[in-house]
């Protein structure tokens, strides 16, 4: 089978390519980063430089493909609504149109951030997602993208993977480690809130399982490492492996929340695009527990994590050490 992968030049993309190539798939990598695209060609992958906002680009790239894995997205906690709408909403609409015209199966990478809120949420199931969540533009756009897919006639599967980390990650883990070096990591409730994170290799694996699943269609699945863990404990795993210590700051949530709320309103009013030091979404992640139920993925997709959190941490730290020695 030949698979079209959007967002192929992103963090998750290269892992999906490896997972597919290791299982005898042909891959058409669709993305805008030509420099990374050239490295994919060396892996015997077709690279198509295109724009998700251009349906014609998608039509050309999807020639002779049997399915699409749609992983392209603007994934950040702050920015202009117009940008999120163009990439995450209109981009998804274009992907759906192409899949409908060519009768292609669609596997869509959504986000469990759509569950986010100012409350503890444990063992959240797929059908507990709110119909609306305007906490930030990314979340709003992902809900809209899901709804576009659900309203189609496609054979689709939606995956909601939680807290991806691994080699090549430029967001969650690097930011926390950098913060630890500079000022320390803020903690609420002593970092005892329970969270889920997922090795990126496991997410790529779940996407292949979704692609190959012919028994279930038009379904949504949570994906995690199935190892709910306290926030501070995750950090401790990394610091222990690195042979360093964590610096922690005790912050008062009730004092910080009004300040963050004011800053968000201020930034929106003046149209400031630069990312805030802290958003309400990030604040909720650092204050409240949120874990996902993946029983449905186990039962229907046959998904079980191939790599444990500890294995993922060891792999990440070892790679960081090698990179530091080379530099």
> What's residue 326's pLDDT?
64
> What's residue 56's pLDDT?
96
- The long-range contacts involving 271-280, CB below 8 angstroms and separated by at least 24 positions, are 271/80, 273/78, 273/79, 273/80, 274/78, 275/76, 275/77, 275/78, 275/79, 276/77, 276/78, 279/77, 279/78, 279/136, 280/118, 280/135, 280/136
Of the candidates 38, 145, 19, the one whose C-alpha atom is nearest the C-alpha of residue 88 is 145
> What's residue 325's pLDDT?
64
pLDDT tens series, the chain, 327 aa: 999 999 999 999 999 999 999 999 999 999 888 888 888 877 789 999 999 999 999 999 999 999 999 999 999 989 999 999 999 999 999 999 999 999 999 999 999 999 999 999 999 999 999 999 999 999 999 999 999 999 999 999 999 999 999 999 888 888 888 888 888 999 999 999 999 999 999 999 999 999 999 999 999 999 999 999 999 999 999 999 999 999 999 999 999 999 999 999 999 998 898 888 889 999 999 999 999 999 999 999 999 999 999 999 999 999 988 876 665
> What's residue 173's pLDDT?
86
Number of H helices, E strands in the chain: 13, 15
List of domains in the chain: 2-169+198-226+292-305 (3.40.50.720)
C-alpha pair distances (Å), 71 with each of 17, 57, 89: 12, 16, 13
């Amino acid at each position: 089978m030949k698979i079209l992968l959007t967002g192929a030049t992103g963090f998750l993309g290269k892992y999906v390519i490896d997972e597919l190539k290791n299982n005898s798939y042909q891959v058409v990598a669709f993305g805008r980063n030509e420099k990374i695209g050239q490295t994919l060609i060396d892996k015997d992958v077709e690279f198509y430089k295109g724009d998700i906002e251009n349906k014609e680009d998608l039509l050309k790239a999807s020639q002779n493909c049997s399915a699409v894995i749609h992983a392209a997205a603007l994934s950040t906690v702050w920015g202009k609504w117009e940008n999120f709408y163009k990439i995450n909403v209109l981009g998804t609409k274009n992907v759906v149109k192409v899949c409908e015209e060519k009768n292609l199966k669609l596997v869509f990478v959504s986000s469990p951030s759509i569950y986010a809120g100012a409350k503890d949420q444990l063992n959240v199931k797929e059908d507990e997602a709110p119909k609306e969540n305007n906490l930030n533009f990314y979340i709003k756009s992902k809900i809209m993208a899901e709804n576009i897919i659900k309203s189609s006639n496609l054979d689709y599967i939606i995956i909601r993977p939680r807290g991806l980390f691994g080699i090549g990650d430029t967001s969650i883990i690097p930011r926390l480690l950098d913060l630890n070096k500079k000022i320390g990591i803020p903690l609420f409730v002593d970092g005892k809130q329970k969270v889920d994170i997922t090795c990126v290799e496991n997410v790529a694996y779940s996407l292949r399982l979704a692609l190959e699943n012919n028994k279930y269609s038009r379904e949504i699945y949570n994906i995690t490492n199935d190892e709910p863990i306290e926030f501070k404990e995750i950090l401790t795993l990394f610091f222990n492996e690195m042979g360093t210590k964590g610096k922690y700051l005790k912050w008062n949530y009730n004092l910080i929340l009004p300040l963050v709320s004011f800053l968000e309103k201020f930034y929106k009013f003046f149209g400031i695009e630069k990312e805030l030091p802290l958003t309400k979404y990030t604040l909720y992640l650092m204050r409240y527990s949120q874990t996902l139920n993946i029983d449905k993925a186990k039962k229907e997709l046959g998904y079980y994590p191939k790599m444990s959190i500890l294995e993922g941490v060891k792999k990440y730290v070892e790679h960081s050490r090698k990179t530091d020695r080379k530099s």
